[in-house]
Structure 1
């Protein structure tokens, strides 16, 4: 998020069997040089160009992202006990401490995001005091309406 609006998204795909993972694909989509957005999403979407006020060099941006990502990924592969990527996620999360809505097999649920556990799951506390670690899904801030952004 930049200026509380979405500038990028992370997409993941996994193929697995009960006893092993076939593959994992991670993609990052970044709104880089989009000068404007349609009226129906301009309040929730932004781009690097809009935030900077000038176009951004895509190659330089990608190089900077990969230069930061590479050592974090290496730490993940090496199984560091206190990985930097989890500390970064916890420190920069806009969800922790906030009321959220998410969809699960039980329907749309409201809870408070309280942590990111050592496996990278978002930990939420329900109104009855129970906690749950979310493995995947789409999470939205607030409870007024559950709609896809």
Structure 2
């Protein structure tokens, strides 16, 4: 659900504001390298049954002031668009897009959303640091696994599958 939520939000931002947003694995929406939204998902399930899925989406919509410590890394839709954002229009577009992508995945078409996610990714093809617990890995983000995992090509030449972690883009020199 995190993936289709991110796709739906990126499309809603483009549809309502004309802004080009990107997805940073696994759950951030970025504009020009700055975070503008985050998605959290909680699920309770067993092997054959999903009891519930909760998706929370936090969007910096009309914020124009951020703490000094965050200014280099965050932005808002209003700052990027140069005008106030209609949250109603944005949420309507988001829900419409989410429903469309949900129906696609409900028909067991997982590859189509993954293709779209890859197209919107600002992670794939870039060097990243990934904090996984106490460990930090650095490598080239090379692909997305069928389960939504991120694959890194480490400097040793080994591929490492990442199921969860915090990603930081490594600046080019």
| Unmatched runs of 5 consecutive residues or more in structure 1 | 145-149
The structure with more helix, counted as a fraction of residues: 2
The residue aligned with 2:101 is 72
The structure that has the greater radius of gyration is 1
2:114 aligned residue (80, 83, 86): 86
| Contact residue 133 and residue 165 of structure 2 kept, 8 A | no
1:100 equivalenced with 2:128 (yes/no): yes
| Unmatched runs of 5 consecutive residues or more in structure 2 | 1-29
1:63 equivalenced with 2:92 (yes/no): yes
Measure the CA separation in 2 of the matches of 1:81 and 1:45.
31
The residue aligned with 1:147 is none
RMSD of aligned Cα (Å): 2.2
1:34 equivalenced with 2:63 (yes/no): yes
Shift of 1:112: 1.2
**Which structure would you say has the larger RCO, counting Cα contacts within 8 Å and 6 or more residues apart?**
2
1:13 equivalenced with 2:13 (yes/no): no
Measure the CA separation in 2 of the matches of 1:131 and 1:20.
32
Please report the TM-score for the alignment, with normalisation by the length of structure 2.
Answer: 0.73
Please report the TM-score for the alignment, with normalisation by the length of structure 1.
Answer: 0.84
Shift of 1:78: 1.4
Equivalent residue pairs, number: 143
The residue aligned with 2:159 is 131
| Contact residue 36 and residue 50 of structure 1 kept, 8 A | no
Displaced runs of 4+ in structure 1, greater than 6 A? none
Relative distance call for 1:12 and 1:36 in structure 2 (3 A) is same
Shift of 1:13: 2.1
